[in-house]
Amino acid sequence: MSTANPSHAGALLYADEASFGEVSTTFDERLPVLGNINDLAAGLEQTSQDVGRTIQYMNDGTPSVRMTQGGQFTVKLAGSGHGSTCAGALSASVLGTFLGRVVGNLSASSVGGTIAASPTDADTFAISAATLADGAVGRIGSINDGRGNGQFYRFIDASTPGDPIVANALASTPNAGDVVYAAELVYPNESPANAAITTMRFQIQTSNQRYNCYGCYPTAIRLTGTNPGEYLQWEIDMAVSAWVPESIANFPTSVATETFEPVVNAGGSLHISDVGVTTLSHYEAHDFDLTINLHNVPLRGPGAPRSYQSIVGVRRAMCQASVKFTLSREAAGTDVWGDWWNTSVPTAQQMMVSFAAIDGRSMGVYLPKLIRQPMNRPTQRDREGLNAYDVEFLAVTGDTRTTELEAANFVIALS
């Protein structure tokens, strides 16, 4: 009689490793993964190879040799915001915690507040009852209020009275009492001294078999659903150094998770301006694509804590963003980004992308310094029957490097 249970039932648990591939069977977090859990289990690998022994008979043979373990699986997650109000203090979300492990850092220390009395103009004002580190990103106001419009802003050093407090200005001077929303901040390290990675172990639970995976580290990260009307999703490829079937853990699991509504890409904006210029400059962009070049290097050697494991460590070599999007073609004689490309040293740009303007269901991305990357000079192409052209930038380390947050080539904000 069959003992096969439904294939769509499952769970994915994980925990940080104190040392690479440590021997442990505790898992304290559960990710609200999308799709069929068997897709993850199918990515585990341990092959065998023919030894090639000499045989005496034409069709004789000897068993193949079992090789080392490995494999890769893709974690798919809904791209939610923070999941609850960001008008005050925050606590780290399940999504924010995991993305911080993948990219390098998570900060949930920001505290929301309000615009203080007597704001000066669209980029110079004081904020009351808030905690916002230099380089933090958050939202201001509500959609269509004509001021902050609920969009994302980069907060910069305002220690000198009268200096701008945001890197990208509001649509107009805010009102006293306008809400400043905090955000969880996910960002990479820029200093080569911070190349260490906190690896993870996972437990893939199906309604039949379960697998513990060790020495897991990210090899790629993708953001999809970035066109208007879509909802955001994350895809993270995780490499596995060793794995073992297990049958002791309980399924269904009692480990809790969060299933917040994902961010729907609507009511947002895309701001681009010269670095250091706060003037509001929104673009009607299409087909926006954020690429994160994640390069983590596995280290192979002796000293692994289990048989059939050859990877004994991993170091981060790169976590760098680039962006590409499409703009409608300007009138003849105007070629803003073609002219920008066609200069010896194009002026570095900054970009703020807001995908939504809803408290608890918003995400933004800030890139402090964008330069010309290897690409073809922008010309013109057809897009849905209209003339358009593609624009591309490479994100590099920011000019302000006092902290890793300020220096980060990109900052993801969940608000």
Give the pLDDT confidence of 217-259 residue by residue, as tens digits: 999 999 999 999 999 999 999 999 999 999 999 999 999 999 9
Predicted structure pTM score: 0.96
Give the pLDDT of residue 161: 60
In this structure, is residue 126 part of a structural domain? no
Give the domain extent around 288. 10-45+67-106+185-251+262-414
Q: What is the mean pLDDT of residues 12-37?
A: 97
Q: Which two tokens stand for residue 400?
A: 């302000």
Backbone region of residue 71 per phi and psi (left: phi > 0; alpha: psi in -120 to 50; beta: other values): left
Give the pLDDT of residue 184: 98
Q: Which two tokens stand for residue 276?
A: 């250091």
Q: What confidence tier does 120 reach under pLDDT thresholds 50, 70, 90?
A: confident
407 φ, ψ to 5°?
-85, -20
In this structure, is residue 370 part of a structural domain? yes
In this structure, is residue 24 part of a structural domain? yes
What are the angstrom distances between the C-alpha of 402 and each of 22, 100, 109, 133, 207?
34, 20, 18, 11, 49
Three-class secondary structure assignment of the chain: CCCCCCCCCEEEEEEECCCCCCCCCCCCEEECECCCCHHHHCCEEEEEECCCCCCCCCCCCCCCEEEEEEEEEEEEEECECCCCCCCCECCCCHHHHHHHHHHCEEECCCECEEECCCCCCCCCCCEECCECCCCCEEEECCCCCCCCCCCEEEECCCCCCCCCCECCCCCCCCCCCCEEECCEEEECCCCHHHCCCCCEEEEEEECCCEEEEEEEEEEEEEEECCCCCCECEEEEEEECCEEEEECCCCCCCCCCCCCCCECECCCCEEEEEECCCCCCCECCCEEEEEEEEEEEEEEECCCCCCCCCCEEEEEEEEEEEEEEEEEECCCCCCCHHHHHHCCCCCCCEEEEEECCCCCCCCEEEEEEEEECCCCCCCCCEEECCEEEEEEEEEECCCCCCCCHHHHCCCEEEEC
In this structure, is residue 229 part of a structural domain? yes
One-letter amino acid at 21 equals G
Q: What confidence tier does 193 reach under pLDDT thresholds 50, 70, 90?
A: very high
Distance CA(272)–CA(349), nearest Å, equals 7
Cis, peptide link before residue 368, omega less than 30° from 0: no
In this structure, is residue 391 part of a structural domain? yes
**Which residues lie closer than 8 Å to 85 by C-beta, 6 or more apart?**
359, 360
Average pLDDT of the chain, as a whole number: 95
Question: Could you read off the pLDDT of 250-276 as tens digits, one per residue?
Answer: 999 999 999 999 999 999 999 999 999
Give the pLDDT of residue 244: 97
Distance CA(19)–CA(343), nearest Å, equals 49
Checking if the pLDDT of 157 tops 90, the result is no
In this structure, is residue 3 part of a structural domain? no
Among 312, 74, 32, smallest CA distance to 199 is for 312
Give the pLDDT of residue 162: 64
Q: What confidence tier does 167 reach under pLDDT thresholds 50, 70, 90?
A: very high
Which residue, chain included where needed, has tokens 């069977």? Answer: 25
Q: What is the mean pLDDT of residues 347-370?
A: 98
Distance CA(345)–CA(369), nearest Å, equals 14
Q: Which two tokens stand for residue 286?
A: 């299409």
Give the pLDDT of residue 134: 93
In this structure, is residue 155 part of a structural domain? no
What are the angstrom distances between the C-alpha of 396 and each of 168, 278, 368?
18, 19, 8
Which residue, chain included where needed, has tokens 């949930």? Answer: 108
Checking if the pLDDT of 159 tops 90, the result is no
Percent share of the chain, pLDDT over 90 = 95
* 327, 380 contact by CB (below 8 A): no
Give the pLDDT of residue 118: 85
Q: What confidence tier does 164 reach under pLDDT thresholds 50, 70, 90?
A: confident
Give the pLDDT of residue 188: 98
Among 314, 306, 323, 400, smallest CA distance to 367 is for 323
Question: Could you read off the pLDDT of 295-334 as tens digits, one per residue?
Answer: 999 999 999 999 999 999 999 999 999 999 999 999 999 9
Give the pLDDT of residue 101: 97
Q: What is the tally of structural domains in the chain?
A: 1
Cβ atoms within 10 A of the Cβ of 209, count?
15
Distance CA(394)–CA(210), nearest Å, equals 41
88 φ, ψ to 5°?
-135, -135
